[in-house]
Chain A
Amino acid sequence: MAISLIAAETNSKGQKMKIIENKIIVKGSTLVKRGFAHMQKHGVIMDVTNVEQAQIAEDAGAVAVMVLDKLPYDVRKAGGIARTASIKSIVEIMDAVSIPIMAKCRIGHLTEAKVLESTGVDMIDESEVLTPADDENHIWKWDFTTPFVNGAKNLGEALRRIEEGASMIRTKGEPGTGNVAEAVNHIKKINKEMRQIKSAYQDNDYQELIKLSREHKVSLELVKEVGKLGKLPVVNFAAGGITTPADASFLMNLGCDGVFVGSGIFKSDDPSERARSIVIATTYFNNIKEVMEAQKLVDEKKSLLGLDTKNLELKMQERGPSF
């Protein structure tokens, strides 16, 4: 199986068909959307706020850039309401770099997402880093031609986002803290919950699979697919608090397909070196000698000092609809 097409909505409005010379051309199909995420694998997606940062990211070897108005660390410091980035910044960055451009919209904010789709961003992140706009529902992502990535702190959240049409999952972690611990907790929790499903699937324990699907509040079909594959049916990245090459390697070793780095690079005092070193450590994650060489490129005195996740005023991972 090259790519899982489970839970694909058959009447998806985001899927556009046309015929050229008797051949059907399909845009926005589940295969094309999830396929895009597969191309990001083993890569580093970097948060940027302007053209200069986007170019540093591209030169360092970022697989894509995520455009924000403020980096997550600055979102915390500024307080107030965090919204999607200015269209002007997004377009300027599109004209400056050749790698894919992603941008964040507020959870549930359908119009912000539609606007981002019109600007032509390659992927939309429905993100808890911004202030949620709907306490009840996430965006129904099947209505979009552009693929979405969503955050999750456990398997149930990940699978519910996939049912809503997300083409890629990332851990939530605790953004803007420079502390990788929450991302580690989330991926370990997801891995543990997947192992439980896999073992029930292998034992052919139908009763247990039904119980698990109720526990995670998702369809049995999707739970069975996880059991069969032993992993999520879409690409799964780590995000939240990654600051050093060693952080990236650590999360890759826990089974992530790639990493997002938010504040870790451009809130440090050595962004170019740090960006490059995190790219190297992500590719060579299981080669400790390469990771050590990458770690040599950064100076700990220049790392984002960070925040203690225990005493945060704002826990971004807790925001948004609970279902």
Chain B
Amino acid sequence: MKDKIKIGILSIQGDIEENFNACKDALKQLNIEGEVTNVKDYNEILDLDGLIVPGGESTVISTLLSLNQANWKLLKERINEGLSVMGTCAGLILLSKRSYDKRIGETKQKLLEILDITVERNAFGRQHESFETELEIPLIGEKPFKGVFIRGPVIKETGKDVKTLAKYDNEIVAVQQNNIIGTSFHPELTEDSRLHVHFIKTILKNKEPKNIR
């Protein structure tokens, strides 16, 4: 690879530092030179190779992001043009085309509408139903991956370009659509950075000459 990669963590709200550290870990494991940076300003998105939309409250991130319509559009465009993105939990919801809350139903929440899935928010219920379990994610190896679900969503419908990466109890909980990865759980809360490693590999694949603008 010719130059080092730059990954931004969308730093509006949520577990920003945990994703920051997971990316650093993943870069180290891959022995790749790269920079991880906190991104709050849209101008900073322009020179990124990858962006992580962290876990947190999706309504908060969406409310603050959509305050500036021009910037909201810019972010959508960059992802449509091929910027690699990974969204965990709240991030997954924000990237999705359609979402509803299990208890409340339709909400006013604005979505980026780029990942062709329908998400059910709070699908397992409230916090006392939150859980951790072992997931099988063949793409990243045989060893089970610890899935931490915090008021987690599930993916109810997927479009034709969307690959299922993991299921839990017959529900889809991780997907990939070309340059976009989304998980219902929080890989950043565990010590296992294999999903962040997979994200960086996706970035590298995306950075190959044919995709350079």
- Judge whether B42 is part of the interface by a CB distance below 8 angstroms: no
- Cα distance, A38 to B57, chains bound together (Å): 11
- Judge whether B63 is part of the interface by a CB distance below 8 angstroms: yes
| Min distance, Cβ B149 to any Cβ of chain A, angstroms | 8
Q: Which of A2, A42, A63 gathers most chain B CB within 10 Å?
A: A2
Contact yes or no, A146 B64, CB < 8 A: no
Contact yes or no, B133 A26, CB < 8 A: yes
Of the candidates B18, B103, B126, the one whose C-beta lies within 8 Å of that of A38 is B18
Residues in B whose Cβ lies below 8 Å from that of A125: none
- Cα distance, A1 to B18, chains bound together (Å): 8
Residues in B whose Cβ lies below 8 Å from that of A122: 126-128, 151
Residues in B whose Cβ lies below 8 Å from that of A97: 104
Residues in A whose Cβ lies below 8 Å from that of B155: none
Of the candidates B40, B56, B63, B109, the one whose C-beta lies within 8 Å of that of A41 is B56
| Min distance, Cβ A144 to any Cβ of chain B, angstroms | 9
Residues in A whose Cβ lies below 8 Å from that of B125: 120
Q: Which of B128, B186, B190 gathers most chain A CB within 10 Å?
A: B128
B-facing residues in A9-61 (Cβ within 8 Å): 20-21, 23-29, 31-32, 35-36, 38-43, 58-61
Contact yes or no, B121 A35, CB < 8 A: no
A-facing residues in B13-43 (Cβ within 8 Å): 13-18, 21-22, 40
| Min distance, Cβ B32 to any Cβ of chain A, angstroms | 20
Residues in A whose Cβ lies below 8 Å from that of B13: 41-43, 63, 283
Residues in B whose Cβ lies below 8 Å from that of A3: 18, 189
| Min distance, Cβ A282 to any Cβ of chain B, angstroms | 8
Residues in B whose Cβ lies below 8 Å from that of A284: 40
Contact yes or no, A283 B56, CB < 8 A: no
Identify the closest chain A residue to B186 (Cβ): A35
- Judge whether A64 is part of the interface by a CB distance below 8 angstroms: yes
- Judge whether B77 is part of the interface by a CB distance below 8 angstroms: no
Q: Which of B59, B60, B108, B150 gathers most chain A CB within 10 Å?
A: B60
Identify the closest chain B residue to A97 (Cβ): B104
Residues in A whose Cβ lies below 8 Å from that of B60: 43, 61-63, 99, 279
Contact yes or no, B169 A39, CB < 8 A: no
Residues in A whose Cβ lies below 8 Å from that of B148: 31-32, 35
| Min distance, Cβ B14 to any Cβ of chain A, angstroms | 6
Of the candidates B12, B40, B130, the one whose C-beta lies within 8 Å of that of A35 is B130
| Min distance, Cβ B5 to any Cβ of chain A, angstroms | 22
- Cα distance, A98 to B190, chains bound together (Å): 26
Residues in A whose Cβ lies below 8 Å from that of B128: 27-28, 117, 120, 122, 145-146
Contact yes or no, A94 B103, CB < 8 A: yes
Identify the closest chain A residue to B135 (Cβ): A23
Residues in B whose Cβ lies below 8 Å from that of A280: 64, 67
Q: How many A residues are at the interface, by size bracket?
A: 35 or more
Identify the closest chain A residue to B55 (Cβ): A39
Contact yes or no, A98 B131, CB < 8 A: no
Of the candidates B67, B131, B169, the one whose C-beta lies within 8 Å of that of A26 is B131
Of the candidates B14, B121, B126, the one whose C-beta lies within 8 Å of that of A39 is B14
Q: Which of A96, A100, A147 gathers most chain B CB within 10 Å?
A: A100
Residues in B whose Cβ lies below 8 Å from that of A1: 21, 191
Residues in B whose Cβ lies below 8 Å from that of A23: 133-134
Residues in A whose Cβ lies below 8 Å from that of B11: 42
- Judge whether A209 is part of the interface by a CB distance below 8 angstroms: no
Question: Which positions in A face B, CB cutoff 8 Å?
Answer: 1-3, 20-21, 23-29, 31-32, 35-36, 38-43, 58-64, 94-101, 117, 120-123, 145-147, 279-280, 283-284, 287
7 contacts between A and B (CB under 8 A): A2-B188, A21-B169, A36-B127, A41-B16, A61-B60, A99-B57, A279-B60
Question: Which positions in B face A, CB cutoff 8 Å?
Answer: 11-18, 21-22, 40, 55-57, 59-60, 63-64, 67, 89-90, 101, 103-104, 107-109, 121-122, 125-134, 148-151, 169, 186, 188-191
Q: A31-B148, A39-B15, A40-B57 are in contact. List 12 more A-B contacts (CB 8 A).
A: A2-B190, A2-B191, A23-B134, A24-B133, A26-B132, A27-B131, A38-B189, A63-B57, A96-B104, A98-B101, A122-B151, A283-B12
